[in-house]
Every structure is written in structure tokens, then in C-alpha cells.
A and B are shown apart, each in its own frame.
Chain A
Amino acid sequence: MNKINIIELKNIEKNYTVGTEIVRALRSVDLTVKAGEFLAIMGASGSGKSTLLNILGCLDKPTSGDYWLDGKNVNSLKKNQLADIRNTKIGFVFQSYNLLPRTTALENVELPLLYNSSISNKLRREKAEYALKAVGLADRMKHLSNQMSGGQQQRVAIARSLVNDPVIILADEATGNLDTKTSYEIMSLFQELNESGITIGFVTHEPDIAEFTKRNIVFRDGRLIKDVSVKNRSSAQLALDELKEEEILLENVEDADLVFAHLNLLLKYVISSTNVFCWARNLQYIFGRYLNRKKHSLDMTNSKFKNLFVIRLSFPALLGIKATKITDFR
């Protein structure tokens, strides 16, 4: 396939001077992103991923190196020209949504187009409405931003990033402030948008979120150390469905039904699941927890613990997603 390069970075360096010390935030980074990619930029904090995002988003200029965005070298551009590039070629999604408070969803989405004088009032309204429909908020256009849930606010922010038909959407920890379920919803939306041909750059430090993208690049100390395409990409929609099932179960299970529910699901998954290893690890985890509780002579009938028991044995598939979380318990 011969797709155009949306982003082409050649030997990008970025140095900051903090006091008398020079911090090398990015060291000779080369990166090419083609149209239609879904890229996760990963790394610990201070690894340079945010710096890279700022440079990609034309908010910052590299100390040296070349950057072509949509075939145009942006190194030589002045402040105002960069503002125009941001206005027409890039969509931003932030961790904390950054919506205007006490302003309707529609007006928030219209914002980038206000700064583009070639777009008429009518077209602006149409585009904003279209973008909001695309993120599934057709019925909430007139709602004020502060009357919305976090997930809805992030949807509005995504609509805002879409509204100017950008060549790439750059998201900075877009799921960082959201709970697991909403995170999956947002990732599902991103996947959907990506399927429709939109290029997305996604900064995250959560590996399970990165699993939903197509390509992961990892930074450490300003260097790009790993660039892998994701095999067996998880579907956020599927993960979401499972999560919902889990939730429904948690709500409905009574203490007395526990054993039946457990056996039922156990049977179902033992038969259907190919991932027996995962299941075994779940068993081991719960056993660990059991011993731990016994050691500290804690109440064994604690319903939370019981539910955990059910979930862990019933949904071995979840383990793949929650691998990091399990290590947290140890």
C-alpha cells in the first residue's frame, strides 16, 4: 500500500535549559506516520513523549531536525503560520478535556472554526453539528459542558478535534481522567474514527489502552526505543461488553447464588476459553489473596472478596487486559 506520509520526523532534537543544566528531552528521533495509522506514544513520565506531542502539534519547535507535516516543512514557519497549521491540520484532545465552562457542547465544538475566517457562520454550525453526531452526542448539543459527565465531555472534545477535518488527531492521555468503562468507550470511539480513515496519535502510559491502537512506539530518556505494530489488536467494544457483563453480574449476584453463578460461568469458560493459562493464573491470584486474608484473620465472607472470587474465575479473558492491575495487588 502506498499511503502518504502524514508525519515525517528526521533527526529531531529538543533541548531545554533548566537553570544551568541542559535537559535533552528528545534525542535524534526519526518517525514516519502514514495516513490511517493509529499510533500510541508510550513511555514513563519524563521520557519525552509529551515533548514529542507538542512538536507534532506545532505548539513547540524542535531545537534541530526536520519536521514535515502533510508534506509541508513546518520548521521555517512563524508563530502565526503555526497557528494556522494548528487550526487547519491538527485536532487536539486533552486529558482534562479543556472545554469552555458554562458553554454549550455546540459552541465548544465550533471554537476552532471561529479562528478560521474562511468558514461562514452557517458552515461552522453545520460542521459542528456533524462532528457531534459523529461522536454520538446528537441529543446533547445544547447541553452545557459543566452539566456533562467526564466521558461526554471527552466526546465533545473529540468532536472539537474533528471539526476542522484535521490530517491527524493528537490525544494527550485522553483517557487519563476516566474510569475503565468510560476509557473503553472513548477508545472504542477512537477505533471507530480510525476505521473511517482518521490518523490518530495517542499518548498514554497505560499498556492496556495502547493495546487498542495499531502501532506502539515507546520512549525512554528522549530516545525512541521501541516501535512495534500491535498484533491481535483488542477491540475496545468487546472489552466494553465484557466489562458490562461483569458489572451486571456484580450487581445481581446474591451471596446464596454465588456458588451457582460461579459454577455456571466456570463451566462456560472452561469449555469455551482457550486461554487456560490465564485461568490458572487467576486461580493462583485468588489463592494468594485468600492466604493473605487468612494471615491477617480478615472476614472471609466479605462480599467484595467473594465477588472478586467470582470475577477472577469467571472471566479469564479479562486477565489479558488487567495484567498490570494484578501485579498491583501483590
Chain B
Amino acid sequence: MNILNLIKVATAAIKRNKTRSFLTMLGIIIGVASVIVMLAIGEGSNASIREQISSMGTNLINVMPKSERRGGVQQGRSMSQTLVVSDVEYLQNNCDLIKAVSPEVKSGGQVIYGSNNWPTQIFSGNEEYTYIKKYDIAEGRIFNSQEIKSSAKVCLIGQTVVDNLFGDDVDPIGQNIRFNKIPFKVIGVLKEKGDNTFGQDQDDIVLAPYTTVMKRITRQIYLQTIVMSARSEDVIEKASTQVEEAMRLSHKLKDTEENDFEIRTQQELISTFGSISEMMIVLLGSISTISLIVGGIGIMNIMYVSVTERTREIGLRLAVGGKEKDILMQFLLEAILLSVIGGIIGIVLGIVSSQTVENIMGWPILITSDAILISFLFCSFIGVFFGWYPARKASALDPIEALRHE
């Protein structure tokens, strides 16, 4: 029998038993749908974590002082005093894979305007800070090099600070605010950025030149962090090695000495958080794979029953000239068709329910073509794998016995 006729015969057999066919497919439908939904949720959360991390900065590389032990007590990072402004200059001049470098010094405090006040953090850097940390300026401008050099008391403020200090009718630009009693002139407002991955409000910020903050607020010559942007995403790792070498040279460390600083790249952060969501994907994926396999066993079960039930039909087909191969192919094809049709329905159902989850629960959803392809291939495989045994049994029937079967 040629393949076209075989498909015709197999579809006719499926159509003949609509309810049973549907029930058989149900396992596969649910299995595939759950694979799609689970992967969509997993991939969605993964993608949103990536996006959030990358929103923290442009190809970000951070250099931090290494935390030290003093008399057996591990000290906090901010206590270590190893990074200085000359390091920033050294990195600027010696690392060609780095596009922008800025020192970072921050401190907490109360910001006051008129009768309003608000607890916030002051961040500081040079004129490239907003580029590195992916802040956009909504209004006004960033401080220029002249203002940095002269430790000018100017600042930019985030939206949260604007909301808490100024009423709707006041234009923040040009106003004087005080941070820990030191007056700052507002020269710009930062564009709203929202919370980061760790739930910190990125708009709750006052941004000032690092020179001003070091002189007036922290009163230190040491930096807390050096932040920088690599030229592109691909060179982050290379750039990080380059930075490490440059820092060692800048700190004049001997070969035997350990680094007195630490380098963190955005990529590491992504892979740390990525591994959590990868784990989640694997977990969710394996649960739904199990349900797919159960669905496959369902198909095998029904096909097996169907072979027994249709023994006479098989006998008749053999009697009128069907060969073993034809019977085998027919039943195998039925199983494959059942699982593939089930798979397609499952994919549609999965996509629909993923969208529903997104709409109702507000979870980030990402349906990848890989997920669809994989579940589809897996279905076909299940059809062949679980269809084989009943089909084999059907084709091995003796026509005389089969015709006599009650």
C-alpha cells in the first residue's frame, strides 16, 4: 500500500473513533501544553532577569576593593581603602577595550528642600557615569569636566527624589536642595528607571560629581567602586582580564601578591542569576516531560486495546491482501498521527494558556520557537516509540485466528 493510501486509512480509523481518539490525544495535549507553558514561564523569567541586569549598566565591569581580614575579622568592602582616583586615570589610559570609566562614591543621607525632606543615597561619578550606568537624562544636563574639577555643588536627581521633594508645580531644575546640610544646585533630572533585580529603587538617587562628594561628604581619598563599560558585550571577558592586569600594574603588585581588588562583570551576574532560572527551566521541563511520557504511555495503552478490539478488522485486511508491513505501518501511522495532532493542539493550547498566564498573573512569558520545535519532535518520537509495540502486535496476528476472533 502506498503511503498516501496508508495515511488515508489511518485518518479514517482515527475519525471512526472520535471520542476515543480525543481521549488518547488528551495525554499528549496536556503534556505538550504544559511543556510549552513551563518553558515559556522559565524562559520569560530568565529573559526578564537578563534584561534587568543589563539595564543596570552598559557592558558593565566593576572594580571593588577586596575585603580584608584584620586580626581574623572579615571587614566590609567599604572599609578597604585600595582604590584611588589615579587608578581610574590609569585604566582610562591603558585599557583599549574599555570605552568609559568612572569612579563611584556613594553615601546615605537626608535630602532637604524647603519644608520637605527625604532619606536617599548620593551617588557620584564623572561625566560618563550616566552612560556607564544606563541613566538617561530627562531634563537639564549632566555636570561637565569643569564642574568636576572645581568640585561644584551641583547635582542631578532621580524621579523618586523629585516626587518627594517638589510639588507638581515646581520645576526642580535650578532649585537648591541640601544633602546633609550641604547645598546642591539641581542641574538635571534623571529619567525614570524603576526597580532593579534586587528590588532597589534606582530612581531614589542624587547624583553629584565625585570630587564634590569625596571632599564634602565622605571626606576620603578612596573610591568605593570603579565602574566602566567594555567596548561591546563580546569583549567583556577580555576587557575584564585587561582591567585586572592594568590594576595590578597601577597598584604595583608583585607576581607573588594577591589582587587587592575584585572585578565583577555583568556577565557573571547574569550567569549567576541565569543559572537559577536555568535550574527552574530544567525542573519545570522535566516535570512536563514526565507528563508527556505518561501521555505516550496512554497512546500505547489505547493502541494496544484498539488492536485487540480491531482484531477482526486486522484479520480482514490480511485476508484481502494486506501484508504484515501494511498493517504495521497503518497502526504505527495511527499512533504517530494521534500524537502529532495531539501535539499541535497542545502547542496551540500551550500558547493560549501562556498568554493567559501573562495576562492574569502578570508573569513575564517568552515562547521560544525551540520550545515548540522540541515538543513537536518529542511528540512524533513518542508516537513512533509507543506506537511500535501495538503495531508490531497487530501485524503479527494470524489472519485465520484474527477472523475468528469474537
B is bound to A = yes
On A, residues with C-beta under 8 Å from B are: 54, 57, 59-60, 79-80, 83-84, 86-88, 92, 94, 96, 98, 100-103, 107, 111-112, 114-117, 160, 164
Residue B76 at the A interface, CB < 8 A? no
Segment from B37-45, B133-141, B322-330 that makes contact with A = B322-330
Q: What is the CB-to-nearest-CB distance from A102 to chain B, in angstroms, rounded to a whole number? A: 5
Residue B84 at the A interface, CB < 8 A? no
Q: What is the CB-to-nearest-CB distance from B344 to chain A, in angstroms, rounded to a whole number? A: 24
Q: Is the CB of A84 within 8 A of B12?
A: no
Residue B193 at the A interface, CB < 8 A? no
Residue B244 at the A interface, CB < 8 A? no
Bound together, the chains give a CA A164 to CA B320 distance in angstroms of: 9
Bound together, the chains give a CA A275 to CA B275 distance in angstroms of: 102
Q: Is the CB of A103 within 8 A of B319?
A: no
Q: What is the CB-to-nearest-CB distance from A123 to chain B, in angstroms, rounded to a whole number? A: 13
Q: Is the CB of B321 within 8 A of A84?
A: yes
Q: What is the CB-to-nearest-CB distance from B122 to chain A, in angstroms, rounded to a whole number? A: 80
Pull 28 A–B residue pairs with CB atoms less than 8 Å apart, ordered by A.
A57-B319, A59-B318, A59-B319, A59-B403, A60-B400, A79-B324, A80-B325, A83-B318, A83-B322, A86-B319, A86-B321, A87-B320, A94-B403, A96-B312, A98-B313, A98-B315, A98-B403, A100-B313, A103-B12, A111-B316, A112-B320, A112-B321, A114-B9, A115-B322, A115-B323, A116-B321, A117-B2, A164-B320
Residue B16 at the A interface, CB < 8 A? yes
Q: What is the CB-to-nearest-CB distance from A151 to chain B, in angstroms, rounded to a whole number? A: 19
> Across the two chains, which residue of chain A brings its CB closest to B4?
A121
Residue B317 at the A interface, CB < 8 A? yes
Residue B150 at the A interface, CB < 8 A? no
* Most A Cβ at <10 Å: residue of B321, B322, B324, B325: B321
1/0 contact string of B355-390 vs chain A (CB within 8 Å): 000000000000000000000000000000000000
1/0 contact string of B4-46 vs chain A (CB within 8 Å): 0100010010001000000000000000000000000000000
Q: What is the CB-to-nearest-CB distance from B305 to chain A, in angstroms, rounded to a whole number? A: 16
Interface residues of B in 313-349 (CB under 8 A from A): 313, 315-326
Residue B350 at the A interface, CB < 8 A? no
Q: Is the CB of A87 within 8 A of B400?
A: no
Bound together, the chains give a CA A83 to CA B322 distance in angstroms of: 6
Q: How many residues of B contact A (CB 8 A)?
A: 23
Q: Chain A contacts of B322 at CB under 8 A?
A: 83, 115
Q: Is the CB of A114 within 8 A of B316?
A: no
Contact of B320 among A79, A96, A101, A115 (CB under 8 A): A115
> Across the two chains, which residue of chain B brings its CB closest to A102?
B16
Q: Chain A contacts of B182 at CB under 8 A?
A: none
Q: Is the CB of A59 within 8 A of B323?
A: no
Q: Chain B contacts of A60 at CB under 8 A?
A: 400
Bound together, the chains give a CA A88 to CA B321 distance in angstroms of: 8
Q: Chain A contacts of B323 at CB under 8 A?
A: 79-80, 83, 115
Q: Is the CB of B400 within 8 A of A59?
A: yes
> Which 8 A-B residue pairings sit nearest by Cβ, starting from the closest?
A87-B321, A112-B320, A115-B321, A98-B316, A83-B323, A102-B16, A86-B321, A59-B399
Bound together, the chains give a CA A83 to CA B315 distance in angstroms of: 12
Apart from A57-B319, A164-B320, list 12 A-B contacts with CB within 8 A: A80-B323, A83-B318, A83-B321, A83-B323, A92-B319, A98-B403, A107-B12, A111-B317, A114-B1, A114-B5, A115-B322, A164-B321
> Across the two chains, which residue of chain B brings its CB closest to A60?
B400
On B, residues with C-beta under 8 Å from A are: 1-2, 5, 9, 12, 16, 312-313, 315-326, 399-400, 403
Q: Chain A contacts of B319 at CB under 8 A?
A: 57, 59, 86, 92
Bound together, the chains give a CA A80 to CA B325 distance in angstroms of: 9
Q: Chain B contacts of A164 at CB under 8 A?
A: 320-321
Q: Is the CB of B326 within 8 A of A115?
A: yes
> Across the two chains, which residue of chain B brings its CB closest to A80?
B323
Q: Is the CB of B321 within 8 A of A54?
A: no
Q: Chain B contacts of A115 at CB under 8 A?
A: 1, 317, 320-323, 326
Bound together, the chains give a CA A164 to CA B12 distance in angstroms of: 22
Q: Is the CB of A92 within 8 A of B16?
A: no
Bound together, the chains give a CA A114 to CA B320 distance in angstroms of: 10
Q: Chain B contacts of A84 at CB under 8 A?
A: 321
Q: Chain B contacts of A160 at CB under 8 A?
A: 320
Bound together, the chains give a CA A204 to CA B320 distance in angstroms of: 21
Q: Is the CB of A54 within 8 A of B1?
A: no
Bound together, the chains give a CA A79 to CA B317 distance in angstroms of: 14
> Across the two chains, which residue of chain B brings its CB closest to A81?
B323
Q: What is the CB-to-nearest-CB distance from A247 to chain B, in angstroms, rounded to a whole number? A: 33
Bound together, the chains give a CA A54 to CA B12 distance in angstroms of: 29
Q: What is the CB-to-nearest-CB distance from A92 to chain B, in angstroms, rounded to a whole number? A: 5
* Most A Cβ at <10 Å: residue of B2, B12, B319, B322: B319
Q: Chain A contacts of B16 at CB under 8 A?
A: 100-103
Q: Chain A contacts of B12 at CB under 8 A?
A: 103, 107
Bound together, the chains give a CA A103 to CA B15 distance in angstroms of: 10
Bound together, the chains give a CA A111 to CA B1 distance in angstroms of: 11
Bound together, the chains give a CA A57 to CA B322 distance in angstroms of: 14
Q: What is the CB-to-nearest-CB distance from B3 to chain A, in angstroms, rounded to a whole number? A: 10
Known: A103-B12, A107-B12. A92 touches B400 (CB 8 A): no
Bound together, the chains give a CA A21 to CA B154 distance in angstroms of: 111
Q: What is the CB-to-nearest-CB distance from B209 to chain A, in angstroms, rounded to a whole number? A: 84
Q: What is the CB-to-nearest-CB distance from A146 to chain B, in angstroms, rounded to a whole number? A: 10
Q: Chain A contacts of B326 at CB under 8 A?
A: 115
Bound together, the chains give a CA A100 to CA B310 distance in angstroms of: 9
Bound together, the chains give a CA A98 to CA B402 distance in angstroms of: 11
> Across the two chains, which residue of chain B brings its CB closest to A163?
B320
Q: What is the CB-to-nearest-CB distance from A81 to chain B, in angstroms, rounded to a whole number? A: 10
Q: Chain A contacts of B2 at CB under 8 A?
A: 117
Q: What is the CB-to-nearest-CB distance from A115 to chain B, in angstroms, rounded to a whole number? A: 4
Bound together, the chains give a CA A118 to CA B25 distance in angstroms of: 35
* Most B Cβ at <10 Å: residue of A103, A112, A115: A115
Q: What is the CB-to-nearest-CB distance from A110 to chain B, in angstroms, rounded to a whole number? A: 10
> Across the two chains, which residue of chain A brings its CB closest to B13?
A100
> Across the two chains, which residue of chain B brings its CB closest to A53?
B400
> Across the two chains, which residue of chain A brings its CB closest to B316?
A98
Q: What is the CB-to-nearest-CB distance from B21 to chain A, in angstroms, rounded to a whole number? A: 12
Bound together, the chains give a CA A151 to CA B154 distance in angstroms of: 103
Bound together, the chains give a CA A107 to CA B313 distance in angstroms of: 14
Bound together, the chains give a CA A101 to CA B18 distance in angstroms of: 13
> Across the two chains, which residue of chain A brings its CB closest to B315?
A98
Q: What is the CB-to-nearest-CB distance from B322 to chain A, in angstroms, rounded to a whole number? A: 5
Q: Chain B contacts of A79 at CB under 8 A?
A: 323-324
